[in-house]
Amino acid sequence: MSGLFGMLSTTARSLESQRYGLDAAGQNIANINTPGYSRRVVDFGAIPPTSERLNAGNGVEVLGVRRLRDRFFDRRLFQENPAQHRENALAEALGVVEASLGSPDATLNARLNQFFDGFSGLAQAPTSSTARADVLAKGQALATEIRATDGRFQQAQLDADRRVRASVDDINSLANRLASLNERIANADQSGTMTLRDEQNEVVKELSSFLDIETIDLPNGTVQVSFGRGKPLVIADVAYAVTVQNEPTTGFAHLYSGVTDVTAGINSGKVAGLIAARDTNIPSYRAQLDTLAYTVVQQVNTLHDAGFTLGGVDAPPFFQPLAAVAGAASQIALDPTVAANANLIAAGSVAATPGDNGTARGLAALRDARVLSGNSATFTGFYTNIVYGVGQDRSSAVSEGQIRGEVVQQIENLRDSVSGVSLDEEAASMMRFQRAYEANARFFATVNDTLDVLMNLGR
């Protein structure tokens, strides 16, 4: 042993070490709700004895403080997190579309049924001005509802596009933050980077909610992030901005890394979900609505053109003729001459026979005609398929999002089992260090008393 005075020094070091442990427990408790915070543990080491004989050792010293982190769980989280956010973003975007359908029995489907009911009523009273006005009103209502539904779909598409653009801003902001953190980590003493690395981890996690990213941890503590099939996002302290350019035909945002369009390379994350809704799902619904509108116009006009007005002359088209399927839903409208004069509606199929109802009956029977989907679907059946498609797509996205959410939750639990703060554990640590401090203090007092005895020997 190094003597009583040496023992006092040893005990003072030990007291300092236990205080350090207590301090770490306090730090853990203080940050219990800090996102991304990794639990700190203090590593103690026994100070070996000196060369003197009969020396048990020189007490304890603090070897360092570690943040507990398992990179494997982090990596798994960065892989799963984008998938969950893709499905959630898709479900949200489709939720807007679904809401825009309204109650299925009160909107377009009902308008279609009412439109054909109108012709059925006209067939009963081909010369009735009331029946003719009713057909006009119901035709107007149908055209308006188709245009409104298409408008709501388009609005949902524009909303998704706006969110893509906003997400790009968020991505660039996060990339800049990560580059800054990388710089500070690279230039700081490794022992002083724990808080920075926790923050770095949180930023990467947040980035992974927007994009499917690839990360490489470098020995100096920095993280290199790439996306979209190897395009750099953050390398060392440099953030490579993702830019937005409007696609020439649609005007929608496409993402660029440098001069390369990387939109197609983004397969997961919130941005991918929004792009899927904007470029795949909603356009598909709009295309189907166009087909419905175009076929309504074509079928109704074909019969109507062959009919005769109340005055017994050739009838004009009921709807304004459409040039193409694309955009039909946004353009469907009654023929202006018919809209202005209900007597131009064709009820009869024979000239100069005002009581004839052949055309009105034919138009009413169109309700049951299978003229869509390869002559397998009626108008209402086809619209029902659109509604089914929207519902199925959203339901799948919600369900997939929940499954992915469960996976993310489990990985977060596993990550927290390593990095998270347990109050019970910290309470135990507090007790442990407190007791150790008390014991060392008592030992210090004992050595001090012994020194007193020694000092008093000469008196």
Partner 1 sequence: MRVTFGSIFRNGIVDINRAAEDLALRQREVSSGRRLHLPSDDPSAMAAAMGERAEMSVLDQFTQTTDSVDSRLSVVDSVYTDVINRLTNAQTRAAGGRSTILTQTQRDALAGEIRGAASAILTAVNTSYRGMYLFSGGQSLTPPYAAGPPISGYQGDARVQSVDVARDRAVQVSFDGGAILQGSAPADVFQTLEALATAVQTGNMAGIDQGLVSVGQAFDRVTNAQTQIGIEMARLPEDRSRLVTQRQAANARRSSVEDANLAESIAAMTQADAAHRAALGALATVGRQSLMDYLK
Span interacting with partner 1, options 132-140, 172-180, 281-289, 350-358, rule CB under 8 A? 350-358
Rule CB under 8 A: choose which of 147, 353, 432, 441 binds partner 1: 353
Least distance to partner 1, CB of residue 189, Å: 28
Q: Which residues pair with 60 in a beta bridge?
A: 46
Least distance to partner 1, CB of residue 129, Å: 8
Rule CB under 8 A: choose which of 30, 188, 427, 445 binds partner 1: 427
How deeply is 376 buried, as exposed, middle or buried, from its count of CB atoms within 10 A (0-12, 13-18, 19+)? exposed
Name the phi and psi angles at 422, rounded to 5.
-105, 125
Q: What's the distance, CA 174 to chain centroid?
A: 16
Residues 73-102 that bind partner 1 (CB under 8 A): 94-95, 98-99, 101
Q: Does 49 bind partner 1 (CB under 8 A)?
A: no
Q: What's the distance, CA 355 to chain centroid?
A: 60
Q: Does 388 bind partner 1 (CB under 8 A)?
A: yes
Q: Does 390 bind partner 1 (CB under 8 A)?
A: yes
Spatial CA neighbour of 172 closest among 142, 121, 148, 206: 206
Q: What whole-number distance in Å separates Cα of residue 246 and Cα of residue 240?
A: 19
Residues 111-170 that bind partner 1 (CB under 8 A): 112-114, 116-117, 120, 123-128
How deeply is 109 buried, as exposed, middle or buried, from its count of CB atoms within 10 A (0-12, 13-18, 19+)? buried
Span interacting with partner 1, options 6-14, 278-286, 314-322, 359-367, rule CB under 8 A? 359-367
Q: Does 357 bind partner 1 (CB under 8 A)?
A: yes
Q: What whole-number distance in Å separates Cα of residue 136 and Cα of residue 290?
A: 21
Contact mark string toward partner 1, 272..301, x via CB under 8 A: ------------------------------
Span interacting with partner 1, options 144-152, 293-301, 314-322, 383-391, rule CB under 8 A? 383-391
* DSSP 8-class letter at 49: P
Q: What whole-number distance in Å separates Cα of residue 411 and Cα of residue 322?
A: 55
Nearer to partner 1, 143 or 386 (CB): 386
Residues 6+ apart with CB under 8 A from 288: 382, 385, 386, 389
Compute the Cα dihedral for 258, 259, 260, 263 and give only its sign: positive
Output the CA–CA distances (angstroms, integers) from residue 81 to 225, 268, 313, 416, in the order listed: 15, 9, 67, 16
Least distance to partner 1, CB of residue 46, Å: 26
Rule CB under 8 A: choose which of 55, 173, 337, 417 binds partner 1: 417
Least distance to partner 1, CB of residue 455, Å: 37
How many residues touch partner 1 under the rule CB under 8 A: the total is 67
How deeply is 187 buried, as exposed, middle or buried, from its count of CB atoms within 10 A (0-12, 13-18, 19+)? exposed
- Residues lying near partner 1 in the complex (CB under 8 A) are found at 32-33, 94-95, 98-99, 101, 104-105, 109-110, 112-114, 116-117, 120, 123-128, 348, 350, 353-357, 361, 364-365, 367-368, 378, 380-381, 383-385, 387-388, 390-392, 394-395, 398, 405, 409, 412-414, 416-418, 420-425, 427-428, 430-431
